[in-house]
């Protein structure tokens, strides 16, 4: 009798644990990303047409980004979200966000986009070291980002001092 | 019951309209509260600068360092009366946060204390608890239940003592606040009356209530239902009238039934249904064999299945005039009925209690001054349908403190006044009062005027010295008590601290011990004339108050970033215990038949030479294994040695006095006179009737002729009294108001378990899910009670043994949306049913389901 009660309790525990995910962080990551755009300057040629945000991997951030891009503009440019499932598909993006489960593709994407004015944003430990310009990281429950001035500027982008100050500098 | 629903309903109607709570977005995000931030729209967020956005994003979470700090090193206000980090706390202190309490699933404040080291928590009947800090249970031993419950710890709500001054102790069911009102509970182990006032002998439980964070309307409510008719509900509303004026209103309701509806009869050693109590005569007790077990059981215990039914309603108002001036007002009421331990003598151990209190409490800080004044009044029936136990309290406290810094020295002097009146006349008729049928038959008062000062000196953030001195002047006993606490801490470095405490605390006087004035007429009369028909009970205004001295050494270390270890070793010595004792017995004998026709016992409160020395060690290890996985393990090892234990109880005293009647010199003299007179009379009769008297009769006749006028007068007097005379015998164990030291023994106190402790694990696999597993355990312990158990009738030592026990509890909660959650709550998960308190109910598991909303 006692064993059965214990087993039921454990099963309930497993059932409850398997449910639910937290979208709160994805919302703030999208909002951060929108702010990165405000603080980065692309070459003149890229200040026309749509501002393209590429996302590699299937992630809840896509939905959040679409909410923002649906109502906001970057200067005069409209923003659009493009979703890629592999590095090969990436082309002509202002920003590429690489989802945490695609972190292994950072070096490949970085070299593919060599010479392009694309801001590469990764999401996971060691992202900047592998070639991204900005990397999201969680400090406990707090959302922070690492930023590499070098990785941004070597792609012909300009970054505001404010953004550099707010991020954790990594070079 | 209706009252609370009506109140909650009115509160909702009154405030849920939401008018006047419009959002003020003009504030910068750093100034906004969590509530205000949570109200921001997506558009608002998109308009924020990255800097502000980071503030908003992170207002809801904690960094890894902050998580460690939050779980391992909470703020405490214990010794300094200012918030400081746990690792720096100079006293043995544990803080239980609101989040931990809610996650744990504890169903009441005393149950939540099972998560704190150094607490001995025993469940008596379902939902009714006794809580001891470090022990010193059952002193003096061989006594009534009232001495098994804790009367040497001070419970406070926001600094307002909630103590029973009638005869000591904390009645948890009479607290107006519940877990939903609590911001945190701080427990201080060890004598602390220099800092907190009388009765903080073994420690302090300080319950600190919530303060609303933001200005927006916030509603919280929770309901739980479970087996044994468990129903728990609470609701609260918090809102700001302005940035400076905030209000919180709350209500709580708790109901538990007992696990059975029977009553244990001591002399029979088994349970009987209620119906048997007022039909069954006490055939098992020769002197009371014609009496019913309980005459008016329907009045005493109308619902035998009830364990606890209570509600409370509170209002809290916070007015922050400026940074340096604030006023807090709280007011509320509570009502409770429960069936739990009896406090006096009874044939069975469960009694019904009722309480109905109202209170208000004002606290204010004006620059360096702190002022607090409060008043509590109401009705309290400690033992329903027993004359004398319905005693209404009126308790007032006022204190004024001033804090001033001189460099690294902070001085805080203060004065306080306390008055406790207990009035039993309202429940008595004039005839009752004239016949002294109540305990007090009046409204006696104990007062206490105190002056105190605390100095807190820090030297280069390494060494800290605190001295607290206090003198209390009581009206009864009319003496002044000086208590102190000397505390030093030394920071070896930021992660290691050693500390030492030397302190003395005293318990305050009790109304009943001081003022008892009670004639207990045994109705119907005992059939055995020797057994007292009347007990005359008197308090003493000269009792020395119990005092505890303690020396403690503590060490706190954070060997790794995520682990905090706290160890305290202590030795305390407690003396000046007091309790009542029969000192005189007046027995009226019929000298013609040799039988007792009446007996009156005189009982008075005395101090005892009993001294209790407790030596122990408490450890507490907290670890944050991951941000979503916390672990706590704690325990206390202790040993209590008793010196000068008086090995008898009051039944023994009465029996010994009864046995000494035949050797009473006056009785022997009267017996001699009457025997001689009677034999002489027989000799005379025989001679007149031509019979031969015996030699004995002839000798008596000769002796009788030598009797002087006094002797003859005495015989005449006895004749005229129908040969009935009263003889007084004394308790010869008492000499000069003290028990003869040759009778005292040394022993150890097994009523406090030699080891007790617990552990808890909190795990959140996702932010929406929390599982909290906790355990509480104690080793076997024994209470030596004055009532005998049928299975253990061994004269002087009626020992009641409580087996070792481990209780596991678990709460699983799932947040459906934001902070709105559903949960399963199992207390005593594996239904370990052994008793935790002598003679009380078996303790069964509580299995509850519930939901909480917060918006």
Q: Is the per-residue pLDDT at B15 higher than 50?
A: no
Q: Write the residue in A35, A72, A141 that is nearest to B627 by C-beta.
A: A141
Q: Calculate mean pLDDT across residues B802-820.
A: 94
Sign of CA dihedral B429, B433, B436, B439: positive
Q: What is the pLDDT, as a whole number, of residue A17? A: 39
The number of C-beta contacts closer than 8 angstroms across A and B is: 98
Q: Calculate mean pLDDT across residues B281-304.
A: 81
pLDDT 10s digits, B448-502: 999 999 999 999 889 999 999 999 999 999 999 999 999 999 999 888 999 999 9
A73 in any annotated domain: yes
Please answer yes or no on whether A5 and B51 come within 8 Å at the CB atom: no
- Gap from B847 CA to chain A (nearest CA, Å): 11
Residues of chain B found within 8 Å of residue A74, distances taken between Cβ atoms: none
A5 in any annotated domain: no
Q: How far apart are CA B780 and CA B769, in angstroms?
A: 36
CB B351 within 8 A of CB B343: yes
Q: How far apart are CA B376 and CA B359, in angstroms?
A: 4
Domain of A62, in residue numbers: 23-169
Q: How far apart are CA B559 and CA B553, in angstroms?
A: 19
- Gap from A5 CA to chain B (nearest CA, Å): 8
Q: How far apart are CA A94 and CA A44, in angstroms?
A: 12
Q: How far apart are CA B22 and CA B13, in angstroms?
A: 18
Residues of chain A found within 8 Å of residue B768, distances taken between Cβ atoms: 19-20, 22
Percent above pLDDT 70 for chain A: 86
What contacts B656, CB < 8 A, 6 or more positions away? B648, B731, B732, B733
A99 in any annotated domain: yes
Q: Calculate mean pLDDT across residues B614-622.
A: 96
ipTM of the complex: 0.80
Q: Is the per-residue pLDDT at B756 higher than 90?
A: yes
Q: How far apart are CA B388 and CA B432, in angstroms?
A: 9
Q: How far apart are CA B37 and CA B29, in angstroms?
A: 7
Asked if the C-beta of B826 comes within 8 angstroms of chain A's C-beta atoms, the answer is: yes
Asked if the C-beta of B819 comes within 8 angstroms of chain A's C-beta atoms, the answer is: no
CB B748 within 8 A of CB B641: yes
- Gap from B614 CA to chain A (nearest CA, Å): 38
A38 in any annotated domain: yes
pLDDT 10s digits, B825-854: 999 999 999 999 988 999 999 999 999 999
**Which two three-digit tokens encode residue B700?**
């008596």
Q: What is the DSSP letter of B837?
A: S
Please answer yes or no on whether B63 and A20 come within 8 Å at the CB atom: no
Please answer yes or no on whether A140 and B826 come within 8 Å at the CB atom: no
pLDDT 10s digits, B528-558: 777 888 889 899 999 999 999 999 999 999 9
Residues of chain B found within 8 Å of residue A71, distances taken between Cβ atoms: 43, 46
Q: What is the pLDDT, as a whole number, of residue B430? A: 95
Q: What is the pLDDT, as a whole number, of residue A24? A: 64
Q: Which of B406, B376, B405 is nearest to B393 (CA)?
A: B376
Please answer yes or no on whether B58 and A142 come within 8 Å at the CB atom: yes
**Which two three-digit tokens encode residue B315?**
């209002």
CB A68 within 8 A of CB A79: yes
Please answer yes or no on whether A12 and B812 come within 8 Å at the CB atom: yes
Tally the domains of chain A: 1
Q: Which residues pair with B647 in a beta bridge?
A: none
What string of H, E and C letters represents the secondary structure of B599-632?
EEEEEEEEECCCEEEEEEEEEEEEEEEECCEEEE
CA A162 from centre of chain: 19
Q: What is the pLDDT, as a whole number, of residue B103? A: 95
Q: How far apart are CA B183 and CA B176, in angstroms?
A: 15
SS3 state of residue B111 = helix
Q: Calculate mean pLDDT across residues B789-795.
A: 42
Strands B738-739 and B734-735, sheet pairing = antiparallel
Question: Using 50, 70 and 90 to split pLDDT, how confident is the model at B796?
Answer: very low
Q: Domain B67-260+305-648+735-756+767-854, what fold?
A: Maltoporin; Chain A (2.40.170)
Please answer yes or no on whether A36 and B64 come within 8 Å at the CB atom: no
Q: Left, alpha or beta for B737 (phi > 0: left; psi -120 to 50: alpha)?
A: left
Angle B289-B292-B297 (CA atoms, 0-180°, nearest 5)? 160
Q: What is the pLDDT, as a whole number, of residue B655? A: 86
User: How many residues are present in chain A?
Assistant: 171
Question: Using 50, 70 and 90 to split pLDDT, how confident is the model at B35?
Answer: low
What contacts B649, CB < 8 A, 6 or more positions away? B142, B143, B786, B796
CB B586 within 8 A of CB B599: yes
What contacts B577, CB < 8 A, 6 or more positions away? B139, B140, B546, B607, B608, B610, B612
Residues of chain B found within 8 Å of residue A166, distances taken between Cβ atoms: 50-51, 54
Q: What is the pLDDT, as a whole number, of residue B792? A: 42
Q: How far apart are CA A62 and CA A82, in angstroms?
A: 9
Q: Is the per-residue pLDDT at B666 higher than 50?
A: yes
- Gap from A97 CA to chain B (nearest CA, Å): 18
Q: Is the per-residue pLDDT at B12 higher than 60?
A: no
A88 in any annotated domain: yes
Q: Calculate mean pLDDT across residues B278-288.
A: 76
A48 in any annotated domain: yes
B281-295, B674-688, B753-767: which has the minimum mean pLDDT?
A: B281-295
Strands B769-778 and B781-784, sheet pairing = unpaired
> Residue A138's closest chain B neighbor by CA?
B63
Asked if the C-beta of B766 comes within 8 angstroms of chain A's C-beta atoms, the answer is: yes
Q: Write the residue in A140, A162, A166 that is nearest to B66 by C-beta.
A: A140
Q: How far apart are CA B804 and CA B533, in angstroms?
A: 41
Q: What is the pLDDT, as a whole number, of residue B25? A: 41
CATH number at residue A88: 3.40.50
Please answer yes or no on whether B62 and A142 come within 8 Å at the CB atom: yes
Please answer yes or no on whether A5 and B769 come within 8 Å at the CB atom: no
Q: What is the pLDDT, as a whole number, of residue B142? A: 79
What contacts B706, CB < 8 A, 6 or more positions away? none
Q: Is the per-residue pLDDT at B292 higher than 90?
A: no
Q: How far apart are CA A55 and CA B294, in angstroms?
A: 81
Q: How far apart are CA A121 and CA A37, in angstroms?
A: 11
Q: How far apart are CA B246 and CA B330, in angstroms?
A: 12
Query: What does the mean pLDDT of chain B come to?
Result: 89
Asked if the C-beta of B5 comes within 8 angstroms of chain A's C-beta atoms, the answer is: no
Question: Using 50, 70 and 90 to split pLDDT, how confident is the model at A9?
Answer: low
Q: Calculate mean pLDDT across residues B370-375.
A: 97
Q: What is the pLDDT, as a whole number, of residue B523? A: 65
Select the residue from B54, B59, B72, B815 to test the A interface by mutation, using most A Cβ atoms within 10 A: B54
Q: What is the DSSP letter of B789?
A: P
CB count within 10 Å of CB B20 equals 12
Q: Calculate mean pLDDT across residues B389-397.
A: 94
A87 phi, psi to nearest 5 deg? -60, -30
Please answer yes or no on whether A140 and B65 come within 8 Å at the CB atom: yes
Q: Is the per-residue pLDDT at B21 higher than 60?
A: no
Q: What is the pLDDT, as a whole number, of residue B649? A: 82
A17 in any annotated domain: no
Q: Which residues pair with B401 in a beta bridge?
A: B370, B414
CB count within 10 Å of CB B325 equals 13
Q: Which residues pair with B485 in a beta bridge?
A: B468, B503
Q: What is the pLDDT, as a whole number, of residue B173? A: 97
Please answer yes or no on whether A166 and B63 come within 8 Å at the CB atom: no
- Gap from A88 CA to chain B (nearest CA, Å): 32
Residues of chain B found within 8 Å of residue A12, distances taken between Cβ atoms: 812, 824
Q: Calculate mean pLDDT across residues B776-782.
A: 95
Q: How far apart are CA B243 and CA B216, in angstroms?
A: 10
Distance from the first to the final alpha carbon of chain B: 26
Asked if the C-beta of B55 comes within 8 angstroms of chain A's C-beta atoms, the answer is: no
A111-115, B190-194, B680-684: which has the minimum mean pLDDT?
A: A111-115
Strands B218-226 and B230-240, sheet pairing = antiparallel
Q: Is the per-residue pLDDT at B224 higher than 60?
A: yes
Please answer yes or no on whether A2 and B830 come within 8 Å at the CB atom: yes
Sequence spans of domains, chain B: 2-61, 67-260+305-648+735-756+767-854, 661-732
Please answer yes or no on whether B771 and A71 come within 8 Å at the CB atom: no
SS3 state of residue B38 = helix
What contacts B91, CB < 8 A, 6 or more positions away? B78, B79, B188, B189, B190, B192, B487, B501
pLDDT 10s digits, B106-158: 999 999 999 999 999 999 999 999 999 999 988 888 777 777 788 999 999 99
CB B424 within 8 A of CB B466: no
Asked if the C-beta of B9 comes within 8 angstroms of chain A's C-beta atoms, the answer is: no
Asked if the C-beta of B768 comes within 8 angstroms of chain A's C-beta atoms, the answer is: yes
Q: How far apart are CA B623 and CA B632, in angstroms?
A: 6
Q: Which residues of B14-59 form beta strands (DSSP E)?
A: none
Q: Calculate mean pLDDT across residues B354-358.
A: 97
Question: Using 50, 70 and 90 to split pLDDT, how confident is the model at A115?
Answer: confident
CB B495 within 8 A of CB B559: yes
Q: What is the pLDDT, as a whole number, of residue B779? A: 96
Q: What is the pLDDT, as a whole number, of residue B237? A: 94
Residue with tokens 């022997």: B668
Chain A contacts in chain B segment 769-788 (CB below 8 A): 769, 771
Angle B623-B626-B630 (CA atoms, 0-180°, nearest 5)? 40
Q: What is the pLDDT, as a whole number, of residue B8? A: 46
Q: Write the residue in A9, A68, A140 that is nearest to B810 by C-beta.
A: A9
The full DSSP string for chain A is: -HHHHHHHHHHHHHHHHHS----HHHHHHHHHHHHHHHHEE--GGGSSSPEEEEEES--THHHHHHHHHHH-EETTEEEEEEEESSGGG--S-SEEEE-GGGGGGHHHHHHHTTTS--EEEEESTTTTTTT-SEEEEEETTEEEEEE-HHHHHTTT-EE-HHHHHHSEE--
Percent above pLDDT 70 for chain B: 91
pLDDT 10s digits, A16-66: 433 333 456 788 889 899 999 989 999 988 888 899 999 999 888 998 899
The full DSSP string for B494-562 is: TTEEEEEEEEEEEPPP-HHHHH-EEEEE-SSPPSSTTS-SEEEEE--TTPPPPEEEEEEEEEEEEEETT
**Which two three-digit tokens encode residue B158?**
């926001």
Q: How far apart are CA B632 and CA B622, in angstroms?
A: 4
- Measured CB to CB, residues of chain A less than 8 Å from chain B are 2, 5-6, 9, 12-13, 16-17, 19-22, 24, 28, 31-32, 34-36, 38-39, 67-68, 71-72, 139-143, 162-163, 166
pLDDT higher for B294 or B542?
B542
């Amino acid at each position: 009798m006692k064993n059965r009660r214990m087993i039921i309790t454990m099963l309930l525990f497993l059932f409850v644990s398997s449910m639910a995910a937290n979208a709160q962080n994805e919302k703030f990551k999208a909002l951060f990303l929108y702010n990165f755009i405000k603080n980065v300057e692309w070459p003149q040629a890229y200040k026309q047409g749509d501002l393209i945000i590429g996302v590699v991997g299937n992630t809840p951030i896509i939905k959040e980004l679409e909410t923002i891009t649906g109502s906001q503009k970057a200067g005069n440019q409209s923003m659009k979200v493009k979703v890629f499932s592999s590095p090969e598909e990436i082309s002509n993006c202002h920003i590429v966000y690489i989802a945490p489960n695609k972190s292994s593709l950072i070096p490949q994407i970085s070299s593919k986009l060599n010479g392009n004015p694309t801001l590469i944003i990764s999401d996971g430990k060691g992202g900047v070291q592998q070639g991204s310009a900005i990397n999201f990281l969680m400090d406990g429950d707090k959302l922070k980002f690492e930023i590499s001035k070098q990785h941004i500027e070597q792609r012909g982008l300009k970054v505001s001092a404010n953004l550099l100050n707010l991020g954790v500098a990594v070079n | 019951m209706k009252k609370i629903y009506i109140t909650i309903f009115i509160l909702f109607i009154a405030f849920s309209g939401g008018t006047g709570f419009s959002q003020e977005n003009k504030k910068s995000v750093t100034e906004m509260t969590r509530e205000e931030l949570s109200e921001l729209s997506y558009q608002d967020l998109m308009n924020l600068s990255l800097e502000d956005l980071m503030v908003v994003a992170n207002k809801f979470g904690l960094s890894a360092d902050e998580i460690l700090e939050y779980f391992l090193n909470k703020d405490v206000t214990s010794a300094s009366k200012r918030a400081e980090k746990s690792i720096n706390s100079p006293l043995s202190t544990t803080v239980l946060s609101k989040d931990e309490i809610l996650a744990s699933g504890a169903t009441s404040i005393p149950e939540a204390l099972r998560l704190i080291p150094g607490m001995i928590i025993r469940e008596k009947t379902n939902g009714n608890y006794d809580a001891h800090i470090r022990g010193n249970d059952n002193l003096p031993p061989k006594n009534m239940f009232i001495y098994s419950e804790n009367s040497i710890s001070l419970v406070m709500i926001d600094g307002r003592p909630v103590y029973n001054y009638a005869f000591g102790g904390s009645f948890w069911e009479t607290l107006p606040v519940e877990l939903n009102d609590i911001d945190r509970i701080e427990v201080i182990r060890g004598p602390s009356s220099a800092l907190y006032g009388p009765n903080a002998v073994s420690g302090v439980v300080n319950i600190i209530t919530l303060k609303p964070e933001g200005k927006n309307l916030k509603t919280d409510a929770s309901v739980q239902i479970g087996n044994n008719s468990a129903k728990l509900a609470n609701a609260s509303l918090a809102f700001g009238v302005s940035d400076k004026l905030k209000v919180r209103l709350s209500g709580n309701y708790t109901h538990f039934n007992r696990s059975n509806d029977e009553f244990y009869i001591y002399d029979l050693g088994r349970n009987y249904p209620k119906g048997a109590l007022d039909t069954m005569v006490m055939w098992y007790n020769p002197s009371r064999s014609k009496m019913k077990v309980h005459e008016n059981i329907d009045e005493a215990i109308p619902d035998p299945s009830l364990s606890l039914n209570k509600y409370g309603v509170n209002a809290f108002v916070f007015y922050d005039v400026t940074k340096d001036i604030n006023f807090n007002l709280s007011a509320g009421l509570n009502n409770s009925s429960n069936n739990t331990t009896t406090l006096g003598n009874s044939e069975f151990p469960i009694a019904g209690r009722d309480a109905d209190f109202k209170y208000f409490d004002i606290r204010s800080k004006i620059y360096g001054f702190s002022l607090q004044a409060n008043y509590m009044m109401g009705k309290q029936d400690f033992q329903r349908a027993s004359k004398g136990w319905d005693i209404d309290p009126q308790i007032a406290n006022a204190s004024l403190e001033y804090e001033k810094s001189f460099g690294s020295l902070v001085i805080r002097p203060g004065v306080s006044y306390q008055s406790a009146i207990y009035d039993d006349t309202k429940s008595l008729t004039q005839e009752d009062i004239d016949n002294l049928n109540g305990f007090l038959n009046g409204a006696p008062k104990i007062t206490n005027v105190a002056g105190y000062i605390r100095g807190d000196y820090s030297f280069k953030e390494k060494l800290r010295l605190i001295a607290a001195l206090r003198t209390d002047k009581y009206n009864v006993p009319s003496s002044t008590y000086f208590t102190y606490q000397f505390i030093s801490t030394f920071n070896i470095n930021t992660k290691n601290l050693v500390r030492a405490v030397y302190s003395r605390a005293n318990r305050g006087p009790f109304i009943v011990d001081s003022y008892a004035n009670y004639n207990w007429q045994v109705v119907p009369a005992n059939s055995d004339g020797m057994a007292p028909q009347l007990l005359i009970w008197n308090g003493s205004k000269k009792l020395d108050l119990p005092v505890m001295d303690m020396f403690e050494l503590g060490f706190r270390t954070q060997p790794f970033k995520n682990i905090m270890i706290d160890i305290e070793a202590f030795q305390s010595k407690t003396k000046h215990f007091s309790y009542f004792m029969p000192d005189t017995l007046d027995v009226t004998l019929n000298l013609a038949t040799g039988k007792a026709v009446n007996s009156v016992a005189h009982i008075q409160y005395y101090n005892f030479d009993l001294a209790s020395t407790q030596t122990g060690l408490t450890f507490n290890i907290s670890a944050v294994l991951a941000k979503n996985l916390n672990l706590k393990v704690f325990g206390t090892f202790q040993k209590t040695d008793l010196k000068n234990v008086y090995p008898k109880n009051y039944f023994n005293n009465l029996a010994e006095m009864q046995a000494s009647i035949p050797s009473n010199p006056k009785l022997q003299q009267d017996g001699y006179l009457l025997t001689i007179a009677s034999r002489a009379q027989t000799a005379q009769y025989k001679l007149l009737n031509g019979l031969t008297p015996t030699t004995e009769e002839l000798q008596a006749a000769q002796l009788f002729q030598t009797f002087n006028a006094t002797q003859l007068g005495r015989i005449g007097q006895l004749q005229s009294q129908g040969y009935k005379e009263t003889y007084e015998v004394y308790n010869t164990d008492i000499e000069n108001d003290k028990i003869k030291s040759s009778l005292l023994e040394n022993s150890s106190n097994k009523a406090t378990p030699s080891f007790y402790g617990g552990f808890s694990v909190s795990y959140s696999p996702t932010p929406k899910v929390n599982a909290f597993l906790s355990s509480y355990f104690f080793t076997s312990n024994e209470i030596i009670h004055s009532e005998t158990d049928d299975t253990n009738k061994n004269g002087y030592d009626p020992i009641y043994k409580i087996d070792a026990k481990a209780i596991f509890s678990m709460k699983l909660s799932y947040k459906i949306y934001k902070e709105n959650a559903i949960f399963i709550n199992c207390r005593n998960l594996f239904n370990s049913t052994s008793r935790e308190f002598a003679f009380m109910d078996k303790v069964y598991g509580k299995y509850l389901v519930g939901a909480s909303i917060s918006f």
